[in-house]
Amino acid sequence: MTPLQTYTLRLGDDCLVLGQRLSEWASRGPTLEEDVALLNLSLDLLGTARSLLGAVGDEDALAFLRDEPHWTNVLLVELDNGDFGKTMARQLLISAYQVPLWTALSASTDPLLAGVAGKAVKEATYHLDHACSWMVRLGDGTEESHVRAQAGLDAVWPYAAELFEADEVVTSLVEQGIAADPSVLLAPWQATVERVLAEATLAVPTTDWQPTGGRQGKHTEAFGYLLAEMQHLHRSHPGATW
């Protein structure tokens, strides 16, 4: 696989796995409107993933026939949903990253990435708005919602560092104007997250623990269960349609 294909697949895997996670909220949202909202987010991410995976190879084979070590998403997107507070905390951290990511990639010298990013940035802006407003309502809400939002945030926080890692694949593509420079994405991410957490009266977690490995196919225990659910139909009934 070329560095560009590797990079494109990473971005696609992030979107697909998060989209799959969010779809688990179907019929379980706190209100009907929220059920619909989470599935809208999921659908946007799935659409972005399809464009990216389709640029690398056969989208169905990539989605349904890869085993765990071949997936290159960050760990953050595969974490289990937990309660609504944890889901929204994860969404805040990922959307606050995706908005500057897609903004930067809209100017990529790779036309496919630029095209996908130009659409995705507008959708990610909606996702970020949604996550921000919920984190403020939960954090600055009742005693119970505050405690649970903080617990959710504490649980997902260590995984955010992986978003900003750069290996030789990223570095070489940044030099060619193809990839977004992770070090440039960090400042706007921090500014957004810190502003929202302050408004939400939530504490910025302090931890030195920064789990990583997703880009190299080393995943968390939760990921195997996600893949089993996502892939079993296709694997049991290859080529099934309805």
Partner 1 sequence: MVTAPISVAEVREVLSQVVDPEIPVLTIADLGILRDVALDGTAITVTITPTYSGCPAMDMIRADINAALAEHGWTDVTVKLVLSPAWTTDWMTDDGRRKLQDYGIAPPRRTPGPVAVTLGGLTCPQCGSRDTEELSRFASTACKSLWRCRACREPFDHLKDH
Name the site residues for partner 1 (rule: CB under 8 A): 33, 36-37, 40-41, 43-48, 50-51, 111, 114-116, 118-123, 125-126, 129-130
Q: Which of 120/226 has CB closer to partner 1?
A: 120
Interatomic CA distance for residues 100 and 125, integer angstroms: 10
Q: How far is the CB of 115 from partner 1 (least distance, A)?
A: 4
Q: How far is the CB of 37 from partner 1 (least distance, A)?
A: 4
Q: Which of 99/160 has CB closer to partner 1?
A: 99
Q: Which of 112/186 has CB closer to partner 1?
A: 112
CA dihedral angle for residue 19, residue 20, residue 26, residue 30, rounded to 10 degrees: -60
Contact 141, 192 (CB under 8 A): no
Q: Which of 92/155 has CB closer to partner 1?
A: 92
Which tokens sit at 52? 């990216």
The amino acid at residue 158 is P
Which residues, at least 6 apart from 53, have a Cβ–Cβ distance to it below 8 Å?
9, 12, 16, 59, 62, 63
Q: Which of 115/217 has CB closer to partner 1?
A: 115
Handedness of CA 97, 98, 99, 100 (dihedral sign): positive
The amino acid at residue 141 is G
Q: How far is the CB of 7 from partner 1 (least distance, A)?
A: 18
Q: Which of 75/96 has CB closer to partner 1?
A: 96
Interatomic CA distance for residues 27 and 97, integer angstroms: 28
- Burial letters for 153-185: b for 16+ Cβ neighbours within 10 Å, e otherwise? bbbbbbbbbbbbeeeebbeebbeeebbbebeeb
Q: How far is the CB of 81 from partner 1 (least distance, A)?
A: 18
Q: How far is the CB of 118 from partner 1 (least distance, A)?
A: 4
Q: Is residue 72 classed exposed, middle or buried when 0-12, 13-18 and 19+ CB atoms within 10 A define those classes?
A: buried
Q: How far is the CB of 10 from partner 1 (least distance, A)?
A: 17
